Structure 1
Amino acid sequence: MKKVIIMASMMLATASLMAQTTEKKDSVNPNAPVFTVIKENPITSIKNQARSGTCWNYSTLSYFEAEILKKSKKTYDLCEMFVCNKNYMDRAVLTVRMHGDAQFSQGGSAYDVLYVLKNYGICPEEAMPLPGTMYGDTLNNFNEFFSVMEPFVDAVAHSKAKTISPTWKTAFQGILDAYLGKCPETFKYEGKEYTPKSFAQSLGLDWNDYVTVTSYTHHPFYTEFPVEVQDNWRQPGSWNLPMDEMARIIDNAVMNGYTVAWGGDVSEDGFTRDGLALLIDTKNQALDGSDMARWLKLTPAQKKDKIKEAGVTVKEMTPSQEQRQKEYDNWTLTDDHGMLIYGIAKDQTGREYYMVKNSWGKTGDYQGTWYMSKNFIVAKTMDYMVNKNAIPKDIRKKMGI
């Protein structure tokens, strides 16, 4: 995934919203949404990916932390930099093996985290240096880090030598360890000694329970295919389902106590930095009389202001299978960001939203939670990871799982 990289450094805080109604009233704007919680599942604290393209990592580890909470009621803070260390080495190896005909970048997918957990294990946050501390920062800042790594990998991948030695891996591992910290071979946690693999086993999850789901028409439904985006570089298969079934799984998961590791497009006019996402119907907005032509002439900042002013009166489009495919093929539906769906709420008009945990710290009007309309999520989903036990039985039967 090509991730949204956020500059602000925020303190980590608990993101679980305890109240049944989120009173976000605005005395100036009568259209400001007031949310009532329909279903809210337990999650761990809000994290901050800061200046790193690692939302795929933060969102998916947060997902597995929520899975552990559901199963055992235990709270863990799993180490994102352990995953980065292992994943970037694997990605560099592939790029070199492909003589540079593969993308080496900061992004990744939910499957990358699952792969690391299954094959390398994991450690708690406290077993490695905190993000940024290896180079004197207080949070992640991958600017210098990747300005060193990318040309290194490119030089090896495009070497003019007839053969290359394995020494480059040792040197590359040194860069990873210098910026991220060295992955521990053993560590103690709550008085017991673990290896990363034994610690992952102790979490009590079955790694075979997890599947990814998408919905496109260029592959047959009820089959698996690797979603064709650059950061899906390990090429895992995602289950291709009709759009309505893809949507029904999310509802069923949340209402039955599960969360969903969502990946999709947030580079849309309707996705605001205030904590709201709506599938804007630009042809039918009552935004001070603006029609589509006028809307398109507005600057991005002006559009955001209009959306905020209109609030719950904003008209939305209805997602369709055909539109999803069209936008995927013409690059409108892009692979931007990973987040965690953990609840369902409605506003004062009855419109329903998913409660979504972000990894930008306690930002926005809702302290790190985004209220993303169901229409927005269905239209802008690239794919998502979910526990197969959260899938309705009739859909599982069609999938054969």
Structure 2
Amino acid sequence: MRQTLFTIAFLCISTIFYAQEDTVVKVHIPTEQKYEFTTVIDIEASAVKSQGNTGTCWSFSTSSFLESEIFRNSGKMIDISEMYNVRNVYLDKSWNYVMRQGKIQFSEGGLAHDVMNSAQKNGLQPETAYSGLIGKAKTHDHSKIVPDLKKVLDAYIKNDKNSKHSDWKKAVDSILTVHLGSPAATFNYEGIEYDAMSFLKMTNIKPNNYITLTSFLHQPFQTKFVLNIPDNFSNGSFYNITLDALVNEVDYALEKGYTLALDCDVSEKTFSSKYGVATLPNSPNESEKSLTYIVKEKNITPEFRQEEFENFNTTDDHLMHIVGLVKDQNGTEYYKVKNSWGASSDRIGNNGYVYMSKAYFRLKTISVMVHKDAVSDAIKL
């Protein structure tokens, strides 16, 4: 029997014609596949919020993380006040800036451990007790806070005799009250009177039970170190493990029902809140295509990851919340990441979530925070 083969590529379909005697059989083989995601793991999380015109993703992501932790422990979803954490951390930043005589970054940015440090020292409040919104405002706008604070702090540092703010601590508190309001000493939640510390106790959150994991080659593995990045003003410690171990620990935690707070770089064109995906195409020419179609991704080595960090292609841009795992039709896995840029805009895909490929995670992640009980025995804490 004689058989001939002709292959014709047309758009995203390759059609193969098999001619067998008088019979022609067409077989359609797709060469381009649009994403089709199915859920593998989906852990309870609160509704997606918008951080508005602020650089406070660190509080939104970590507060969301704490909400999932509270739900895991109690089955109750409590809306934690992001701005209560933010207000207290602004006070800490101001102290740090003054004591370092202005020779340090002063910005809206922060990291997950800043929320934990604040909770340990100041407790927590629910959103119903303190929203940080003034008057009829419905969205957050912190564009004037840092400039106003910095003006006062710089005047004090320079010993400006014309400055009216010799007591900079009172001035800082006054500025924060103007922009964010002042939290009440006590508040009612579900019929019970609390202060911030008793509310923290009620949630059963113990800030010392959380650890931040990372992976870099300039420090020994299985050790803690202070990562020198601009937003680490509080000199938080990171536990260093291998890159493969970092991915394994995230998977292990999710399998056990724990979520993670994520610090990563979102400056790549292939991180898209509009399409709700984050990928790392092997070919730069496929960057736009990768937002809607499956493409081959880069193989990320620890050496390449380190190089991208040291040349500033990977920076601590943004914090989010890993709440699950999905897979595409080929079985490739992606982390389900809760963002804080809202969920209802036409520029927001996947209802405010981003499906992040493991290749993107391996290259662009700075760190993850997780409960110590969610760490495998392979990690020697």
TM-score category of the 2 structures, normalised to the smaller one: 0.7 to 0.9
- The residue type equivalent to 1:206 in the other structure is K
User: Which residue of structure 2 lines up, in the alignment, with residue 299 of structure 1?
Assistant: none
User: Which residue of structure 1 lines up, in the alignment, with residue 80 of structure 2?
Assistant: 78
Task: Give the Cα–Cα distance (whole angstroms) in 1 for the partners of residues 53 and 75 of structure 2.
Answer: 31
Count of aligned positions: 345
1:348 Cα deviation from its structure 2 partner:
1.2
1:269 Cα deviation from its structure 2 partner:
2.2
Task: Give the Cα–Cα distance (whole angstroms) in 2 for the partners of residues 30 and 241 of structure 1.
Answer: 37
Instruction: Give the stretch that moved more between structures: 334-343 or 140-149.
Output: 140-149
User: Which residue of structure 2 lines up, in the alignment, with residue 308 of structure 1?
Assistant: 291
1:236 Cα deviation from its structure 2 partner:
1.4
Q: Is the 8 A contact 1:276 1:372 kept in 2?
A: yes
Task: Give the Cα–Cα distance (whole angstroms) in 1 for the partners of residues 155 and 224 of structure 2.
Answer: 35
1:374 aligns with 2:362: no
User: Which residue of structure 2 lines up, in the alignment, with residue 62 of structure 1?
Assistant: 64
Unaligned runs of 5+ in 1: 1-28, 288-302
Task: Give the Cα–Cα distance (whole angstroms) in 2 for the partners of residues 240 and 347 of structure 1.
Answer: 30
SS at match of 2:173: helix
Q: Is the 8 A contact 1:261 1:386 kept in 2?
A: yes
Identical counterparts, % of pairs: 36
User: Which residue of structure 2 lines up, in the alignment, with residue 45 of structure 1?
Assistant: 47
More strand by share: 2
After the TM superposition, which residues 2-401 of structure 1 pair with which residues of structure 2 at under 5 Å, given as runs? 31-128=33-130, 130-134=131-135, 136-159=136-159, 167-273=167-273, 274-282=275-283, 287=286, 303-304=287-288, 306-308=289-291, 311-312=293-294, 314-362=295-343, 363=345, 364-395=348-379, 398-399=380-381
Task: Give the Cα–Cα distance (whole angstroms) in 1 for the partners of residues 241 and 255 of structure 2.
Answer: 20
Task: Give the Cα–Cα distance (whole angstroms) in 2 for the partners of residues 131 and 377 of structure 1.
Answer: 32
Greater relative CO, 1 or 2 (CA 8 Å, sep 6+): 1
Task: Choose 1 or 2 for highest CA Rg.
Answer: 2
Task: Give the Cα–Cα distance (whole angstroms) in 2 for the partners of residues 154 and 193 of structure 1.
Answer: 40
User: Which residue of structure 1 lines up, in the alignment, with residue 24 of structure 2?
Assistant: none
Q: Is the 8 A contact 1:52 1:106 kept in 2?
A: yes
Instruction: Give the stretch that moved more between structures: 217-226 or 137-146.
Output: 137-146
Task: Give the Cα–Cα distance (whole angstroms) in 2 for the partners of residues 30 and 320 of structure 1.
Answer: 27
Task: Give the Cα–Cα distance (whole angstroms) in 2 for the partners of residues 391 and 320 of structure 1.
Answer: 23
Task: Give the Cα–Cα distance (whole angstroms) in 2 for the partners of residues 160 and 166 of structure 1.
Answer: 9
Root-mean-square deviation (Å): 1.8
1:150 Cα deviation from its structure 2 partner:
2.6
1:209 Cα deviation from its structure 2 partner:
1.3
1:30 Cα deviation from its structure 2 partner:
6.8
1:157 Cα deviation from its structure 2 partner:
2.7
SS at match of 2:97: helix
Task: Give the Cα–Cα distance (whole angstroms) in 1 for the partners of residues 263 and 105 of structure 2.
Answer: 19
* TM-score normalised by structure 1 residue count: 0.82
SS at match of 1:133: coil
SS at match of 1:354: strand
Q: Is the 8 A contact 2:165 2:171 kept in 1?
A: no
Unaligned runs of 5+ in 2: 1-30
User: Which residue of structure 1 lines up, in the alignment, with residue 9 of structure 2?
Assistant: none
- The residue type equivalent to 1:308 in the other structure is L
SS at match of 2:367: strand
